[in-house]
Structure 1
């Protein structure tokens, strides 16, 4: 049996740390064919998403995928991000994170 990756656990830990500290968690993502985000907001193959509770709904930080509902330009979107596509997670206010 393969050992599970530590990446989704670290993402959840930094997300919780941001919430506890009152910071806004941002997720940096390398967009590929498996990533479902609004294409008009992708720059140089990447997108940075505010995944704080005020910005997204129904956030699920799973071991394989991250999903949520977000609004871009007033239009609702279902987002799906493979954990493998996550470049980092950090606090907007301090830049600290992974």
Structure 2
């Protein structure tokens, strides 16, 4: 029998911690594969979703996927995100949470997504700069960000 991944358990734990402390839980998602999200809100192959009780209906987080209904631009949409596509779960108010490595196998959806992205350089979105698992440039054009670099990071990458 194959061992179950710890990732969905950590995702649920961070979600519960956020709600217990009055924070708004957000989920960063790498779009591709079986993920069903509103594509008009996807930026650089990623989307950040508010998964709080007030923003979702019928939220279900199990070991395979996160599924719920949410309103985008006033229109109710069905959202389905496989656990493998989740980049991070964190509190929007302070950025504390947990980041995960995403290793989507090469598929036609991932290839189509890469070809549909614009040529401009990706911009970090809603605190996701700390989520990157690759090497990063240590020089910054933002002095406010440089002051925060001395702080201990709050997101951890889990394999």
User: If the TM-score is normalised by the length of the shorter chain, which range does it land in?
Assistant: over 0.9
Counterparts in 2 of 1:30-41, with a 5 A limit? 30-41=30-41
Give RMSD over aligned pairs. Answer: 0.5
Report how many residues are paired. Answer: 98
d(CA) in 2 for partners of 1:73, 1:29: 19
d(CA) in 1 for partners of 2:93, 2:45: 24
Question: What stretches of structure 1 of length at least 5 have no aligned partner?
Answer: none
Q: Which residue of 1 aligns with 2:130?
A: none
* TM-score (normalised: structure 1): 0.99
* CA deviation after TM superposition for structure 1 residue 63, in Å: 0.3
* TM-score (normalised: structure 2): 0.61
* CA deviation after TM superposition for structure 1 residue 47, in Å: 0.1
Counterparts in 2 of 1:1-98, with a 5 A limit? 1-98=1-98
Relative CO higher for 1 or 2, CA cutoff 8 Å, sep ≥ 6?
A: 1
Which segments of structure 1 move beyond 6 Å, counting only runs of 4 or more? none
List per-residue Cα deviations over 1:14-73 (Å, max 9, x = no partner). 000001000000000000031000010000000000000110110000100100000000
Higher strand fraction: Structure 1 or Structure 2?
1
Question: What stretches of structure 2 of length at least 5 have no aligned partner?
Answer: 99-159
